[in-house]
A and B are shown apart, each in its own frame.
Chain A
């Protein structure tokens, strides 16, 4: 039981990281029909920003420095994402295949740029020592960092919810996910919402990158790509365009992966793919996704 609790919370923590990547993917796809394969590169950018900041700018290992590095990583991810939208995606509206191809290309370009600048070997990022503490739950011990991932993801989820529910841009995004053309036919420049969605998606991915350096103890050129695959699976299971669906699916994928990997060695990834296949068969629109008309 103790082991189950430890693993379960670790799984939820991993799911929280998947959520940070998947939330943006889901909104971007839901609103714009763009499959953004460059999203992993946003995460990696955030991770390198964290490495740089905590190694060269504020290497005191304090929680404050770490917190600042999270924000910087988020902003780096967001700026990278907005630049991507403004420089590449914008000129390919309604050419969905071309957009997907361009983002695949950008993903490759970014990965080799990271490799050229930072080398193949993962760079070590040391989180504040306090994060190495464990928390006791019953008889189980769980690393404090897990709760940090979960907390940050929960804040992002809540902020997303409030933004979507109570702001005009949120209203435009929700309407645009349902019927983009009709939003423009009401006199709204839906492209502003596109840029905004890239900004928040990139911010969440950058945050995810900062946290991933703690989870993976460092950053390498392809850190984001490994997260991207599971984030895509998460988005499909949760339903394209539904942030709450993405959150549920992220927890499902993270816990399944960690638990199965422990109890049936090495089969975690396989079972996640099985889960994906099952959802696609039984509920193709995903758990909370819009029905495709």
Chain B
């Protein structure tokens, strides 16, 4: 316990508030995440998980303190937050549908030597389709583009929002594999409804409800059916 207090957090949010058009969506979010591991951010629909990720990136106006490896980033603009080593895979992918796959990737290049090898090894499909318009890809392929954009650069922190939403089971496995590869070199904050996946790759979990964090612990907690039902409104006990 003492060790955890003294260890520098990869990311630390203190009393983060977000208000959008009069509605107070994040009402004082507090949590820290351990470097080098995957942390799952869980909670029912509409509790503020995506807004939390967007507040870290700076895509929504936020109040409070957000520290990336000890450095305050809540005063930075979105592109500056990303430039300090954060990669973001948004909910609903948000790929550029009028650009080709390769143009989507090129746009995301931040490092001098982007890791195209890693990306194309994980998703050979993207190399095959590099000149195809991203809007004509299947949902799963679009998700690969979104993840590839993030993996192209070396990041200190990867923010990934529901990467398996709406994907066929085979693709869920593929995405999970990609995240595991990414987890070897970066800290990941992962919003995910697929609890077996969370149990497989997350070391820690954080649970939100109505704009605040209500629980931090281990994925083992999800084995308790009563806990999962109470926190997430799902039965998470079995695989």
- Enumerate chain A interface residues (CB-CB to B < 8 A): 168, 171-172, 174-175, 178-179, 181-190, 290
Q: Is B173 an interface residue (CB 8 A)?
A: no
Given A174-B99, A185-B88, A187-B110, check contact A179 B94 (CB 8 Å).
Answer: yes
> Are A185 and B82 in contact (CB-based, < 8 A)?
yes
Q: Among residues 75 to 111 in chain B, which have CB atoms less than 8 Å away from a CB atom of chain A?
A: 77-79, 82-83, 88, 90, 94, 96-99, 103, 106-108, 110
Cβ contacts under 8 Å, A186 to chain B: 79, 82, 107-108, 110, 149
B98's partner among A178, A181, A182, A190 (CB-CB below 8 A) is A178
> Are B59 and A171 in contact (CB-based, < 8 A)?
no
Report the minimum CB–CB distance from A176 to chain B (whole Å): 9
> Are B78 and A171 in contact (CB-based, < 8 A)?
no
Give the most central of B59, B103, B108, B110: most A CB within 10 Å.
B108
> Are A187 and B79 in contact (CB-based, < 8 A)?
yes
Query: Please, which residue of chain B has its CB at the minimum distance from the CB of A181?
Result: B59
Roughly how many angstroms separate A83 CA and B191 CA in the complex, as a whole number? Answer: 43
Roughly how many angstroms separate A186 CA and B99 CA in the complex, as a whole number? Answer: 15
- Enumerate chain B interface residues (CB-CB to A < 8 A): 57, 59, 77-79, 82-83, 88, 90, 94, 96-99, 103, 106-108, 110, 149
Report the minimum CB–CB distance from A169 to chain B (whole Å): 11
Query: Please, which residue of chain B has its CB at the minimum distance from the CB of A172?
Result: B107
Query: Please, which residue of chain B has its CB at the minimum distance from the CB of A290?
Result: B98
Cβ contacts under 8 Å, A188 to chain B: 79, 107
Given A182-B94, A185-B57, A188-B107, check contact A175 B99 (CB 8 Å).
Answer: yes
Give the most central of A168, A172, A175, A182: most B CB within 10 Å.
A182
Cβ contacts under 8 Å, B103 to chain A: 171, 174-175
> Are B107 and A185 in contact (CB-based, < 8 A)?
no
> Are B96 and A175 in contact (CB-based, < 8 A)?
yes
4 further A-B pairs in the complex, CB-CB below 8 A; given A181-B59, A181-B78, A186-B107: A175-B103, A179-B94, A188-B107, A189-B79
> Are A171 and B106 in contact (CB-based, < 8 A)?
yes
Cβ contacts under 8 Å, A172 to chain B: 107
Which 9 pairs of residues, A with B, have the shortest CB-CB distance? A187-B82, A184-B78, A182-B94, A184-B79, A175-B96, A186-B108, A187-B83, A189-B79, A187-B110
Report the minimum CB–CB distance from A184 to chain B (whole Å): 4
Give the most central of B82, B96, B99: most A CB within 10 Å.
B96
19 cross-chain CB contacts under 8 A: A171-B103, A171-B106, A172-B107, A174-B99, A175-B96, A178-B96, A179-B94, A182-B96, A183-B107, A184-B59, A184-B78, A185-B94, A186-B108, A186-B110, A186-B149, A187-B79, A187-B83, A188-B107, A189-B79
Roughly how many angstroms separate A171 CA and B99 CA in the complex, as a whole number? Answer: 8
Roughly how many angstroms separate A290 CA and B135 CA in the complex, as a whole number? Answer: 12
Roughly how many angstroms separate A181 CA and B94 CA in the complex, as a whole number? Answer: 10
Cβ contacts under 8 Å, A182 to chain B: 90, 94, 96
Query: Please, which residue of chain B has its CB at the minimum distance from the CB of A188?
Result: B79
Roughly how many angstroms separate A86 CA and B107 CA in the complex, as a whole number? Answer: 25
Cβ contacts under 8 Å, A179 to chain B: 94, 96
> Are B59 and A178 in contact (CB-based, < 8 A)?
no
Query: Please, which residue of chain A has its CB at the minimum distance from the CB of B104?
Result: A175
Cβ contacts under 8 Å, B96 to chain A: 174-175, 178-179, 182
> Are B98 and A174 in contact (CB-based, < 8 A)?
yes
Roughly how many angstroms separate A4 CA and B98 CA in the complex, as a whole number? Answer: 39
Query: Please, which residue of chain A has its CB at the minimum distance from the CB of B82?
Result: A187
B77's partner among A168, A184, A290 (CB-CB below 8 A) is A184
Roughly how many angstroms separate A178 CA and B98 CA in the complex, as a whole number? Answer: 8
Roughly how many angstroms separate A2 CA and B98 CA in the complex, as a whole number? Answer: 43
Cβ contacts under 8 Å, B83 to chain A: 187
Roughly how many angstroms separate A182 CA and B91 CA in the complex, as a whole number? Answer: 11
Roughly how many angstroms separate A168 CA and B108 CA in the complex, as a whole number? Answer: 11
Roughly how many angstroms separate A175 CA and B106 CA in the complex, as a whole number? Answer: 11
Cβ contacts under 8 Å, B108 to chain A: 186-187
Roughly how many angstroms separate A183 CA and B78 CA in the complex, as a whole number? Answer: 10
Roughly how many angstroms separate A188 CA and B109 CA in the complex, as a whole number? Answer: 10
Cβ contacts under 8 Å, B98 to chain A: 174, 178, 290
Give the most central of A175, A179, A189: most B CB within 10 Å.
A175
Report the minimum CB–CB distance from B51 to chain A (whole Å): 14
Cβ contacts under 8 Å, A187 to chain B: 79, 82-83, 108, 110
Roughly how many angstroms separate A185 CA and B59 CA in the complex, as a whole number? Answer: 8
Cβ contacts under 8 Å, B107 to chain A: 171-172, 175, 183, 186, 188
Query: Please, which residue of chain B has its CB at the minimum distance from the CB of A168?
Result: B106
Roughly how many angstroms separate A188 CA and B57 CA in the complex, as a whole number? Answer: 13
Report the minimum CB–CB distance from A73 to chain B (whole Å): 33
Cβ contacts under 8 Å, A168 to chain B: 106
